[in-house]
Amino acid sequence: MTKDRVVEIAVDAAKAHQDGLHAANINGTVFNLAKGGYCARLIRQVHECALGLESFEWAYRAGDAKQMEDNLKRAGLRVKRPEPGDIVCLNKNSGQYGHIAIFLGNGKIVENTSSGQRGKPREPGTKITTLSANLKKRVSGYYAAMPPAKDKPRAVLMIEHATGKVVGGFELVPGGNHIEDQGKVYVKV
């Protein structure tokens, strides 16, 4: 599963709400779309759906956006250059519970919010929103909880410390279960 799947599920949920639905069943996960203020639940459900997990099995789940960002940060998932499918935390000046969304790229996010002032539809709930200048000021971090959308093997060179000479190399091969395989290295032989 990749970030592409996260984007697809998040956009499907937002479009269902835009089409007037109050709930949507996406691959067996029931999303409550018309109730605002459940941003951390949306992030958890999107990732569980993408990974084929049961409810509350996602490793970074939390009761609110600030706790979820703490979990992602502790796991070392913060990134400087977000990609579509990454998580954007908007916890600067965002109240007691914070706010969190799925980054779509091109200045867009999918969020579940109680705000009726932004996004489409204007009513609270799950929607696609432009990451405005005001929202950008609230960004506290971006996190990659899924593998990149376009997995490519990466070459790793082995360099002798004393001489700086290349003494070997191998390719890291993407794949496997991102949650279960954390810390493992796959080598193409």
Instruction: Tell me the pLDDT tens digit for each residue of 92-129.
Output: 887 789 999 999 999 999 999 988 888 888 889 999 99
Any idea which fold 3-143 has?
Answer: endopeptidase fold (from Nostoc punctiforme) (3.90.1720)
Indicate whether 89 pLDDT > 90.
Answer: yes
Range list for CATH 3.90.1720.10 in the chain:
3-143
Residue 96: per-residue pLDDT: 86
Cα torsion angle, 25, 26, 28, 34, sign: negative
pTM of the model: 0.77
